[in-house]
Structure 1
């Protein structure tokens, strides 16, 4: 008989990449997590982990076992939903995570609507990055996430998660008032090729979108300033220190002497909704997804 707790430790090692990171997420010591894996290997009489440099990697036997483990987790989650289903109305806690701009423009009005329409539902919102959103879903600490699509996300085929498109969020070119492009209703991004640029910090998921958009317009931007927060970027622009691509959902400090200019070619980033596999069928999650889909089109109009 396989101990499902030990199987969960193996799933965590696969998700987080190391025994130490998995142990931290599960509130184990690394030695205790390693012991769980070793005992699972003994129970099954297979090798599950093998050395790779200073770390470990999963063996083919472990990869095969994980496919079954993920399927077991999906069925277990479904059993819990069936037992706890409230067929009258969404109820209970709903834990939702998202990036900052999505919290402001999508999750806040979503929560207000749900409070009005489903008073037995309690929405709890947390602003977190993309990687942390997937971690919280994996750990069962979140029910729904709005995430940015990046090359580093789990693939859409990952059976642990259900990822669905929510909206394609355009980037606008933001320039100081009085800039030659400020009066344009729409501009080709190549018109800003010789400008000093303000770009997201290298670790930001948005940086790749900005650099790709400039590359598609035929130039590499001369990045002279970096910022993490969009409003920091906006203040730099307001002082005439450069131009930037800023996503449409980012709500910038009002009354700054800056102008948004829409771009030909539609540079954008894709936002996804994500649940654990099958989680979208839970009444509370389904109600939240309905509200998000109603709010999304107007948010980027």
Structure 2
């Protein structure tokens, strides 16, 4: 096994502080600090140095992180080769993802895995996009879904393999008595005078909406802020505004709201990718998970092409 202290050092490299690394790995800062000091003492080199309130890796620490990532990749290759020799596919595989991905992609993928491989033990773990890299490196997850964006650009690193899964269009969500509720499609230009319910400025739903509306000459007039789907849907149903929601988030219909595709030259969408540790793709457990995930994504895209009337609640 690879020395677990090396992954602690990698986390400190990623997060910049011992405290942040410890929180990401669900460890105590004092415990992480103690283990890194023990590692430095065993190697007889300084691995970290103070830089204001933060710490940074010394040249020796940076080299050790590079070697640690290479060792992790070799270990994943060894695990893949060993697992491939087993007669039956069995054991745990942990899939991480953000909330809407869990409901629309990971849940049906795990159902498939359990049906296809009875001895496999798939586990779903909620993991936000910004946490994907550390969760992979720490071993908390084996495969992680995330939304591409500036905050996740670091995920595409040399020691992590990143693969595109699907593009998720952003739809309009309105109350059942809204003027748009009977429309088959709506352009963002037609919604310029509406009041919006949206996430905060750093959240992907707002970022995608703002980019699309700016491209046609306006910024959305946000009346209320919410990212969580239940809260957003409740406010839309009450007529407090309209919202832009990822299509896969509305895989289960909600009463008193209508989901409408956007049309025009500027249609906001999210790019959903998944990441895994380099060297692990040939691991039969992970390969089976990737196949199930791609099948779930294909089904999701087929459902997205259904007529809008099929997605509206009865009576709308």
Q: Same fold (TM over 0.5)?
A: yes
Alpha-carbon displacement from aligned partner over 1:195-241 (angstroms, at most 9, x marks no partner): 11100134533322222222223211110101122232122122221
- Structure 2: any 5+ residue segments left out of the alignment? 305-316
- The answer to whether structure 1 residue 134 and structure 2 residue 136 are counterparts is no
Change (3 A) 1:32 1:125: closer
- Structure 1: any 5+ residue segments left out of the alignment? none
1:116-135 alignment to 2 at 5 Å? 116-135=115-134
Whether the aligned pair in 2 keeps the contact of 1:90 and 1:283 (CA below 8 Å) is: yes
> Where does residue 278 of structure 1 map in the other structure?
279
Whether the aligned pair in 1 keeps the contact of 2:133 and 2:155 (CA below 8 Å) is: no
* In structure 2, C-alpha distance between the alignment counterparts of 1:31 and 1:259, rounded to whole Å: 49
TM-score of the aligned structures, taking structure 1 as reference length:
0.87
Change (3 A) 1:238 1:66: same
- The answer to whether structure 1 residue 231 and structure 2 residue 225 are counterparts is no
1:145-294 alignment to 2 at 5 Å? 145-155=144-154, 157-251=156-250, 253-264=253-264, 265-294=266-295
Change (3 A) 1:79 1:298: closer
Q: Which moved more, 1:237-246 or 1:35-44?
A: 35-44
* In structure 2, C-alpha distance between the alignment counterparts of 1:197 and 1:147, rounded to whole Å: 25
- Secondary structure in structure 1 of the residue aligned to 2:213: helix
* In structure 1, C-alpha distance between the alignment counterparts of 2:259 and 2:37, rounded to whole Å: 60
* In structure 2, C-alpha distance between the alignment counterparts of 1:102 and 1:9, rounded to whole Å: 28
Alpha-carbon displacement from aligned partner over 1:64-106 (angstroms, at most 9, x marks no partner): 3322221111112222332333454432112112122221122
Change (3 A) 1:298 1:238: same
Alpha-carbon displacement from aligned partner over 1:45-68 (angstroms, at most 9, x marks no partner): 655333222111223443333222
> Where does residue 74 of structure 1 map in the other structure?
73
Q: Which moved more, 1:44-53 or 1:187-196?
A: 44-53
The number of residues matched between the two structures is 299
Change (3 A) 1:259 1:111: closer
- Secondary structure in structure 2 of the residue aligned to 1:141: coil
> Where does residue 314 of structure 2 map in the other structure?
none
> Where does residue 296 of structure 1 map in the other structure?
297
Whether the aligned pair in 1 keeps the contact of 2:173 and 2:242 (CA below 8 Å) is: yes
* In structure 1, C-alpha distance between the alignment counterparts of 2:241 and 2:163, rounded to whole Å: 35
> Where does residue 16 of structure 1 map in the other structure?
15
Whether the aligned pair in 2 keeps the contact of 1:89 and 1:283 (CA below 8 Å) is: no
Whether the aligned pair in 2 keeps the contact of 1:182 and 1:261 (CA below 8 Å) is: no
